[in-house]
Amino acid sequence: MPILETMVLHRGAANGCPLVLSMPSRIHRRMPISATVIGDWPESFANPRFIGFRMKREKRNISGSIKNIAIVVQPHQEISNSQNRKYGGVERVVASLIKGLLNKNVNVSLYTAKKCSMDCRVIYPIGLFDGEFRGKIHQTQLEVYSRKVREDLEHKDFDIINNHYDPITFVALKNITTPTITTLHGPATEENVKIYGDFPEYHFSAISLAQKNSYPSNMNFVEEGFIHNSIDDDHPFSENKRGYLFSVSRIEPIKGQKNAITIATRCGLDLVIAGNCLDKKYFHEEIAPYVTKDLSKTEKQRERIEFINSISKYEPDLGTIIYVGEVSEQERDQLMKHAKAFIFPIEVQEAFGLVLIEAGIVGTPVIAFNRGAIPEIIEHGKTGFYGNTIDELVGFTDRASEINPQDCREHIKNRFNNDRMVDSYLKLYRTIVAENYA
């Protein structure tokens, strides 16, 4: 069971604004501290009432071992190792990292606002939020959360802090005395480049070479500069491929569901689409008109369950397009392992594409646009195909049967296993800690 620490948020009389955070006395460490205003933050992040506490630590002699790590995620990200968890790439990577670190006897403390089922210490800076975050998290919410994360970290004695991506949290951790590394999970958008590029001396790690190369060259990427994501090898495997293509990701233009429909229609294959509907306008205007079976509706849940459970016996139905809504990991594996191919005609430069290794581990070839990190993950002609046009991807669907499902699985087990990722992170942590206390 996770160890919980809940911090109490007090509100001031003026406008109900969050002020100072108090914690149970057992959390405080008996160490001298000095109060200093955290300055030089972006204007949107400034709060004149906020005071950060900076620890006066003595330099330590580091033996090279890493024993205590803080991992910070965004407040809406639910870190779980359950097969019933909903789809979320960053959440899955962090869960795998925590699991691997714990297996190597490293103490992990996770900062979040959502319930966590991992066997690590869990710290809720703004308390436990047990509901659903609707839509995009408001910047003010992230700022409050990030400030509380920093304030708590100033009272703890970690070897290193690993921030997973959010720019606002990154800024909040600026100048903290504990060595810190930020793992970038997203693309080099204009906003991200501006924020991270303003602090090139801080430590960064990308999740692919392509992603690293998309960021400014003066940023301080440690070691090789990137660590590929990983996946467990306990996912089911099947050589029983049926006559449908599969697409799973958030429903939004950049994920390319419209392209997937075009490809499936042109090659005369059925298409199963899964994913939560992030962009409802896009779904209703570009996707829904082509869907012949919408199993995501409440009244269709029994039919949906029967469809997923019997997918191993699926018979093609002349270009049928089926939408099943958001899926759990177990449901995704079931639909993925029996697909003729996983189709990934994404519209952006992909930073990594965790779903690509999720396809490979169950033995399903990938057909994708050649964008971003795709060539780092797919072995063209052996575990899938990538091209630059719709015409090319349509042609590759005819060649999907050339791919040996066992080759797909072995490629992922050898190149993207958890031990490899966790060992790379530990090496990265040791390098940063040694540099910080040199």
Q: Mean pLDDT per segment of 10 residues, for the chain of length 438 residues?
A: 50 34 33 30 35 39 76 87 70 93 96 88 85 61 87 92 84 88 91 84 94 93 95 95 96 96 96 94 96 96 97 91 95 97 96 96 98 97 98 97 98 97 96 85
Asked: is 244-415 a CATH 3.30.70.370 domain? The reply is no
What is the SS3 assignment for 300? helix
Looking only at the bridges linking them, the beta strands covering 321-323 and 220-226 are unpaired
Q: Are 301 and 331 in contact (CB under 8 A)?
A: no
Task: Give residue 330's pLDDT.
Answer: 93
* Nearest CA-CA partner of 269 in 337, 324, 340: 340
- Going from the C-alpha of 375 to that of each of 103, 356, 368, 371, 415, the distances in angstroms are 31, 11, 10, 8, 13
Residue 362, judged by CB atoms within 10 A of its CB (0-12, 13-18, 19+), counts as: buried
- CATH number for the 3-230+418-436 domain, one of 3.40.50.300, 3.40.50.2000, 3.30.1330.10, 2.60.40.10? 3.40.50.2000
Residue holding tokens 């359950």? 82
- Quote the tokens at residue 375: 């060539």
* pLDDT the model gives residue 317: 85
Q: pLDDT value at position 101?
A: 97
> Which pLDDT belongs to residue 105?
95
Q: Which of 101, 107, 151 is nearest to 126 (CA)?
A: 151
* Verdict on whether the full-model pTM lies above 0.85: no
Distance CA 421, CA 416 (A): 7
Contact 257, 345 (CB under 8 A): no
Helix axes 89-103, 418-436, angle to 10 degrees: 80
Going by C-alpha positions, the residue among 55, 19, 47, 51 that lies closest to residue 37 is: 51
Residue ranges, CATH 3.40.50.2000, the chain: 3-230+418-436, 244-415
Token pair, residue 348, equals: 């952006």
